Amino acid sequence: MRRRRVSRHGTDVPNRRLRRRSLLFPPIHPELRFHNYASFLRRRLGGPVARISVGTDFTCPNRDGSRGTGGCLYCNNESFTQGILYPGLPVEEQVRRTIATNGRLRAFRRLLVYFQPHTNTYASPEVLDRTYRAAFCHPDVVGIVVGTRPDCLGSPVLDVLEAIAQSMYVSVEIGLQSISDRVLAGINRGHSVQEFTEAVVAVRRRGIDVAAHVIYGLPGDTPESFVATAAFLSGLGVQGVKLHHLHVVAGSGLEPLWRNGRVRVPEYQEYVNACADFLELLCPDVAVLRLIGTAPPERLLAPSWKKGSREISQDVAAELHRRGAWQGCRRH
């Protein structure tokens, strides 16, 4: 008997319809029903790819006193260093030691070095160029991924990134977090939605891939705003998106508000449903880099889901299956 699916409206839908859609939109993973990052990198770079996280001594303009207000409300950068094995060492030493000591990486011949914590374009062009090029100290490193803010991507920075992109893969991950300027102001984000838009356009003009970061459950935000972000990013033509839920880490400005009951964190199934809603409106060409945020257990205060990236990917996929839905199925 041929297996059938039940759509979110209760109507039986043959599996062949999704197969036809998958032919129209090859990026969609047939089981996950969304465009996963591993598949994107495999097509983009010609084979399986792994990422290595490294840290630098860069800081952030929203935190270092030059114009900052103490950083974003939810941020404690120490919670972003979990995947960095050798913090404090020079970039090239971090790369070499990570490759030498991480047996999993030996299965890959293509590695990306991810500049993760802080704002990794917040330095002089000379320092940035030297720091980025240090990542290519091993022959298996084929590119870099640079995490940053939209207000730290001026022309001198883009000149550096574009020069490297002439021969190596370069991707820039830009924090958006919300499409509401009111919400961004409330979390001390320090930039506007318009600045994010301008940054994406500027990076794309240089032929460099862009991924956006979005958070569900920010104080003052709504589920409707979160879901609407999918259409907004699809219209901008980004290559990837990172989703994660609001979580409270020790030492962040969010901690006292949460302890006083002024901020709530989302329930797990609520977030799974929100991710599925988001994906239904996201262009199928956009890769999903992540569906959950993580923090070191000793720093994480709430929520305590005990779920990782694999579990939430499976649960979001199951929700899409239950609905008879897939990434982009509700785009107009």
CA 221 to chain centre: 19
**Tell me, what's the pLDDT at 65?**
59
Bridge-partner residues for 195, per DSSP? none
**Tell me, what's the pLDDT at 51?**
96
pLDDT tens digits for range 164-183: 999 999 999 999 999 999 99
Domain positions in the chain are 33-323
Check whether 14 has a pLDDT greater than 70.
Answer: no
Using CA atoms, how far apart are residues 145 and 78, in angstroms rounded to an integer? 19
Specify whether the CB–CB gap between 190 and 68 falls below 8 A. yes
- Region 266-286 average pLDDT: 97
Q: Percent of the chain at pLDDT above 90?
A: 75
DSSP states of 110-176: -EEEEE-SS-TT-S-HHHHHHHHHHTT-STTEEEEEEEE-GGG--HHHHHHHHHHHTTSEEEEEEEE
Check whether 47 has a pLDDT greater than 70.
Answer: yes
Using CA atoms, how far apart are residues 252 and 248, in angstroms rounded to an integer? 7
Map tokens 């030996």 to a residue: 106
Specify whether the CB–CB gap between 135 and 103 falls below 8 A. no
pLDDT tens digits for range 187-243: 888 899 999 999 999 999 999 999 999 999 999 999 999 999 999 999 999 999 999
**What integer best gives the mean pLDDT of the chain?**
89
**Tell me, what's the pLDDT at 24?**
42
**Tell me, what's the pLDDT at 195?**
97
- Region 140-144 average pLDDT: 97
Q: Percent of the chain at pLDDT above 70?
A: 89
pLDDT tens digits for range 56-81: 989 888 777 555 567 787 777 665 55
Specify whether the CB–CB gap between 325 and 273 falls below 8 A. no
Pick the CATH number of 33-323 from 3.40.1350.10, 3.90.1640.10, 3.30.499.10, 3.20.20.70: 3.20.20.70
Question: Residue 6 contacts by C-beta under 8 Å, 6 or more apart in sequence?
Answer: 12, 13, 322, 324
pLDDT tens digits for range 16-29: 444 444 434 568 99
**Tell me, what's the pLDDT at 26?**
61
Bridge-partner residues for 14, per DSSP? 4
Would you call 300 exposed, middle or buried from its count of C-beta atoms within 10 A (0-12, 13-18, 19+)? middle
Using CA atoms, how far apart are residues 123 and 120, in angstroms rounded to an integer? 8
**Tell me, what's the pLDDT at 60?**
86
216: helix, coil or strand? strand
**Tell me, what's the pLDDT at 71?**
76
Check whether 88 has a pLDDT greater than 50.
Answer: yes
Of 15-19, 118-122, 127-131, which one has max mean pLDDT?
127-131
